[in-house]
Amino acid sequence: MDKSPEALKPIRLPRSNTTASEVLDSVVKAYGGYAWQMDNDIVHVFHGAMVNDPRNPLNVRIDTVPDGRWTVNGADNFMFQSIGQAVRSIGPRVVLAPSPQRENKRGDEPQFRVAGENDSVREMLNRIITASKMKIWIATYPNNLPLTVKGFWEVTPVYDPRYVKPEDQPFWVFLRWGDAPWKRLETQEP
C-alpha cells in the first residue's frame, strides 16, 4: 500500500456497484497499476509491479514456523525476528518458538495454531489472519522504494520513529474488522 497523498485521496464509488467485486474493481481502477485478487478466501490488493519482485520483503521465505499455539503478538514477533536478519541485517537475535507461558501471560489473548515450512511471509501472514482475531494485514511502501542494506525494499514506518527505531519497525501491521487504520498505526497496542 502506498501512503502518498495521491493514494490516500477519497474515492467516489458509483451507485451502480452492487457486488464486492465491482466495488474492488472501482477502487483499484482509481489507482494506476493496482489490482486485486481472491486467494483462499482472502482478498489481496496490491501494486502489480511489486507483488512478485524478489526485493519485496513479503516474498522472503521462512524456513520453519514451529507448529504450536500462538497469539497474534507471538506469531508477529516470530515472523519479524525470522526475516529481520535477511531483510535489514538487524543483528543476531534469538527467535523463540511459541510458549503459552511466554506468549499469553495474562491469558486474555486468544491462541491459535499455525505452522509453516519454506513459506513466504505473505503466506504466513495470510495464515495468521485466517486463524486469529486479526482479519487484515497491511504493508506500506514509500513512493521512492529505498532499499535496505540487504537489497530489499524498505517499508514506510508504522510507528513514530521518535519512539521506535526504523530497524525495529514492523514490515506489516495487523488490524481487526472495524479498526480505523490511522488510529491503529498511531499506537503500539497488540
Taking the complete model, does pTM exceed 0.85, yes or no? no
From 7-16, 96-105, 132-141, the region with the lowest mean pLDDT: 96-105
Average pLDDT (114-119) is: 92
Residues 6+ apart with CB under 8 A from 151: 55
Please state the domain count of the chain: 1
Name the nearest CA neighbour of 146 among 156, 158, 136: 156
Give percent above pLDDT 90 in the chain: 26
Flag whether 8 is in a domain: no
- Residue 110: what pLDDT? 84
Residue 14 domain flag = no
> Does the pLDDT value for residue 106 go beyond 60?
no
Residue whose C-alpha is closest to residue 8's, from 190, 143, 171, 144? 143
Identify whether 117 is part of a domain: yes
Q: Is residue 177 part of a domain?
A: yes
**107 pLDDT tier (thresholds 50, 70, 90):** low
> In this predicted structure, what is the pLDDT of residue 162?
81
For residue 31, tell me if it sits in a domain: no
Instruction: Give the least confident one: 1-10, 101-110, 172-181.
Output: 101-110
| Residue 10 domain-assigned (yes or no) | no
pLDDT of residue 140: 84
Please provide the size of the chain in residues: 190
Which of 24 and 184 is assigned the larger pLDDT?
24
Residue 95 pLDDT greater than 90, yes or no: no
11 part of a folded domain: no
Residue 115 or 12, more confident: 115
Please report whether residue 12 resides in a domain. Answer: no
> Residue 140 sits in which domain range?
52-184
What DSSP character marks residue 57? G
Please report how many Cα atoms fall inside a 13 Å half-sphere around the Cα of residue 61, on the Cβ side.
Answer: 6
Helices 72-88 and 121-131 pack at an angle, to 10 degrees, of: 170
